[in-house]
Every structure is written in structure tokens, then in C-alpha cells.
Amino acid sequence: MKTFSKLLLVLLVLIYACNGSQKKSETTSNDKDSLSGNLTIFHAGSLSVPMKEIAGEFMKENPKVTIQMESAGSVECARKITELKKPCDIMASADYKVIDKILIPDFADWNIKFASNEMAIVYTDKSRRSSEINKENWYKIMLDKNIQIGRADPNSDPCGYRAVLVSMLAEKYYKQVGLANQILKKDKGNIRPKETDLLALLETGNVDYIFLYRSVAEQHKLKYFTLPDEINLKKTALNELYNSVSIEINGKKPGEKITQKGEAMVYGITIPKSSPNKKVALAFVKFLLSKEKGMAIMEKLGQPSVIPSSTKSFDKIPEELKQFALKINK
């Protein structure tokens, strides 16, 4: 009788365990299946390559989700939300301050910093004088009247105002009075809304050199050379130096201006308050910021992680995303 009781007890334990496992499996499956619908992402042009790959991996895990992406200059992306009122689930900016200054507090509550980059001078084999250009003489060659240079629009794209800031820092670094103005007044016909628009001009030979992010150059297998850290906006330790230069760009409203100081390059991401599909948006941002998933792709494509970083909006970040940020200690 004792043996029978023991066998019955074991059997009941096994049945309970199987049922629990089945329910857990069903719950996991249901949670996964519950992610569905369209997800709209506005992102910086320099995120085009990694975002495409990350979105593809996310949709493999969540086949009922369809991701639609719009690439533009980060400032332009923000204005699509604030001025054009276009539906958007996620906004990823090449400069986290675009989110802070244009979207928060009226159109978004929080901002998470997630990746870095640096400015470089990018060219091809067709670029004139490419065999002699380097980090010491680049500004002299770019001022050659026979050389065409290109840059992004400062009022549309962080890469555009960063090209201006780099020129100002170069004037200080090389001790060349008036250098920034000389560079910036040259070839204004080659200014484009976002940095990736410059790639076509470069690859067709219409321009010889462009100010561009190092990651984009690497992703498109273009030639480039890096600039001294005092110029390239890469090192957070040099923020005091970078802060010594600034540019006025268009603000939230027509006629309004924002002062944009030099600062180490840091990307930011948020979910707008008006997001039509917040559940999937949260899942995607978590996927993107996870070290083994989205950030592994970002790192592979030349954009190092800065996770976790401090943010003024920590308290308003959704609980499931707070692991990717740090609270500023006052």
C-alpha cells in the first residue's frame, strides 16, 4: 500500500509539472503571438544600415509585425512629429539632444542614449588629390578651387551642424584664423538634407570629399581618414573643448533658433506620446538596446554602445527599459 501511495504521488507530481510546462509554453507563445501590427520608425540616415538589419531580426522573432522605416535628418524626423503630426512609433536620432530640445516634453517623455560615432573625411579613388590627403593637410586640399566638397544641411541633420562644428574646431586646432568660414562658404550647392544623400554625389564623382560619420563610410566601404580627437567629436572627455564652439539652428517653431554647442556624438531613442502601437514599440526598443541583439548589430557596423548612460528623463522611462539607462545623481 505504501508503495502504491508513493507511485501515485510521483504520478501526480509528473502530471502537475507537465501541465505547468504546457501552460508556460502556451503563455510564452501567446505573448509572442500578441505582438502584431505595423510599427513606424523615423530614424537618422546614419542608422539606415543597422536599422534595416535589426528590423529584419526583430520580424523573424515576431512574424506578425510589419516594420516601416523612414530615414531623414534627425531634426527633420523630429519635425515630422511636431509639425506634420505624422504617425510614428519610434524616433531614433543621431543626436540625443534633438529629442531633448524638440520632442520633450510635449511630444515625448523620455530619451535613452544608446550609441556613439565620430566625424571623418570621406572620399573615393575618383576624388582628386586623394593620394596626398591626410589628417594634417585635408583642410588645405579641400580649399583648392578645383576640389568639390559636400556636407549636410545643419537645419535638417546633426551631421550638417557637426560638419560646421568640426570646421570651427579645426580652425582652433590648426591655428588658422578664418578657416571655418572659408570651408563653410565653399561649394554651398553641394549641401544636402541628410548625410546619406551625399553618398550619391560622392560615388558619381560630383564631389571629391564629404564630411560624414565614420560608421557610414565603413558600412558603404568608402575610403576615409579620421581626424584628431580634438576635432572629431568622438571623446566625451573632450566635451569642454567641443563646447567652446557652437552654431544656431532652427528651433521648434518657425523663426525660433536653438544654440547647438559642440559635444561628443551620442545617439538617442524614444517612443513618441502619440505612438499608435506602443506595445510593439516597447518590445522593439528593448530588442534594439539588448547587448546580445540589436546592440551587437550596432557594434558590428561601427557604432559603439554607450549603454547605460545617464539621462535627465530616467524617472519617465518605462520600467522594462530602465535597465538601459542611468539616473543622474543630483
125 and 214 belong to one structural domain? yes
pLDDT of residue 27: 37
Positions of the chain with pLDDT lower than 70, given as ranges: 1-33, 330
Examine the fold and report which residue of 223, 249, 275 is the final residue of a domain before the chain moves on: 249
196 and 144 belong to one structural domain? yes
CA distance 224 to 218: 8
99 and 126 belong to one structural domain? no
| 109 SS3 class | coil
Q: Measuring CA to CA, which residue among 253, 216, 190 is closest to residue 71?
A: 216
Examine the fold and report which residue of 183, 216, 249 is the final residue of a domain before the chain moves on: 249
Residue 142 lies in a domain: yes
Residue 256 lies in a domain: no
Strand partners, 327: 311
Grid coordinates 544641411 are at which residue?
153
136 and 90 belong to one structural domain? no
Looking at the structure of the chain, the number of domains it has is 2
pLDDT of residue 174: 97
52 and 144 belong to one structural domain? no
pLDDT of residue 28: 40
Q: Which helix (H) or strand (E) holds 249?
A: strand 246-250
pLDDT of residue 23: 45
Report pTM.
0.84
Residue 123 lies in a domain: yes
130 and 202 belong to one structural domain? yes
Residue-range definition of the domain harbouring residue 192:
119-249
Residue 24 lies in a domain: no
83 and 124 belong to one structural domain? no
190 and 245 belong to one structural domain? yes
Which CATH number do you get for residue 81?
Answer: 3.40.190.10
Residue 259 lies in a domain: no
Locate all alpha helices (DSSP H) within the chain, ordered by sequence: 2-33, 48-61, 74-82, 96-98, 138-142, 158-173, 179-184, 198-203, 214-219, 239-242, 278-289, 294-300
pLDDT of residue 29: 41
112 and 151 belong to one structural domain? no
pLDDT of residue 312: 94
CA distance 298 to 49: 9
